[in-house]
Amino acid sequence: MRHIEFFKEARNVSILLSADGAALWQNKMGVFPIYFQILNLPPELRTKYANMQVYGIIEGQHPANSQLLYGKLVDELVVLWDEGFVCWDSYTDEHVRLKVMLFAILMDYKGAVEAAQIMDVGAYAACLVCKIWGTWSTLMHKMVYLFSKQNPPGMLVARR
């Protein structure tokens, strides 16, 4: 029941992790900023740039070293969850140990592809959730995925 104990201390910090892939200079270079929003702040304040915390920026279309940054991030979040950090509470005039919880993760498709190190759009297995494989369409010159709202995944026949 560690989660219940976390929320008993009102000063503990809940954060939202965001990563958003963006192409720069006509798709020749991509960047993936990784930043936090502090969920303890009211919604109108947490989305202001002054209140967001940038963790890092990964550059390149498919950077090989992105997992180093994500690995370091996980290590630091584990320490902030288990041990917390000491800060000064001016209201009580004392040092307090607070903990941090990664409450949610918000990513666009490119950011999630980068974080999970899965294939990108255009690959045979490009979906984060389903196990549907794509088929190369010689007519359209691209990968197509035989899934629609009319044909849910359980009703499809795998093609080879």
> Model confidence over 82-98: pLDDT tens digits?
999 999 999 999 999 99
pLDDT at 155 exceeding the cut of 50:
no
Asked if 18 contacts 36 with a C-beta cutoff of 8 angstroms, the reply is yes
Q: In the predicted model, is pLDDT for residue 2 greater than 80?
A: no
The model's pTM is 0.65
pLDDT at 4: 80
Distances (CA, A) of 43 to 9, 46, 47, 109, 119: 20, 5, 7, 24, 34
DSSP characters for 95-109? EEEE-EEEEEEEE-H
Q: Which residue has the higher pLDDT, 43 or 139?
A: 43
Residue 131's pLDDT is what?
A: 66
Instruction: Return phi, psi of residue 126, to 5°.
Output: -100, -5
Which pLDDT does position 45 carry in this prediction? Answer: 93
More confident residue, 99 or 152: 99
First to last CA, the chain: 47
Mean pLDDT computed over every residue of the chain: 77
Crossing angle (nearest 10°) for helices 109-116 and 66-82 = 80
For the stretch 112-145, what's the b/e string if a residue is b when 16 or more beta carbons lie within 10 angstroms of its beta carbon?
Answer: ebbbeeeeeeeeeebbeeeebbbeeeeeeeeeeb
